[in-house]
Amino acid sequence: MPDPMKIRATVVGDSTEVKVIMSHEMETGQRKDAQGKVVPAWFIQSVTATYGGKTVLSAQWGPAIAKNPFLAFRFKGGAKGEKVQIAWVDSRGEKRSDEAAIG
């Protein structure tokens, strides 16, 4: 099981600002190990953020997103104490989903 994400969601005016750091190697498939063998690509391919059952952001990623990916965005609305969910799926089919209360 991959490590949990760090999610911070805060009310800013009439919007909610969401900042996420995911724990992932984001291996490009370009790098070689000490034996000179190519390290196979392994990266998060899709990310979905939901609030109140609605998708507030979805993304498709390639391996050029930096290691331990950072993502920030804002959506209208969002009430303190309510939860924002973030989920990702990587190129090996591994999944991780976390949530955080809006502060």
Partner 1 sequence: MGTTRREWLKSGGGVTLLTLLAAAGWLKPDEALAQAWNKAAFEAKTMDEALKALGTGAPTASKDITFVSTPDIAENGAVVPIGIASAIPKTEAIAILIEKNPSTLTANFDIPPGTDPAISTRVKMAQTSNVYALVKADGKYYVASKEIKVTLGGCGG
The residues of the shown chain that bind partner 1, judged by CB under 8 A, are 15, 26, 28, 30-32, 45-46, 54-67, 69-77
Nearer to partner 1, 4 or 70 (CB): 70
The identity of residue 20, as a single letter, is: V
Nearer to partner 1, 40 or 77 (CB): 77
Min dist CB 20 to partner 1, Å, is 10
Min dist CB 73 to partner 1, Å, is 5
Nearest residue to 22 (alpha-carbon basis) of 65, 58, 75: 65
CB atoms within 10 A of CB 99: 14
Q: 3-state DSSP call for residue 19? A: strand
Nearer to partner 1, 67 or 80 (CB): 67
Residues in the chain: 103
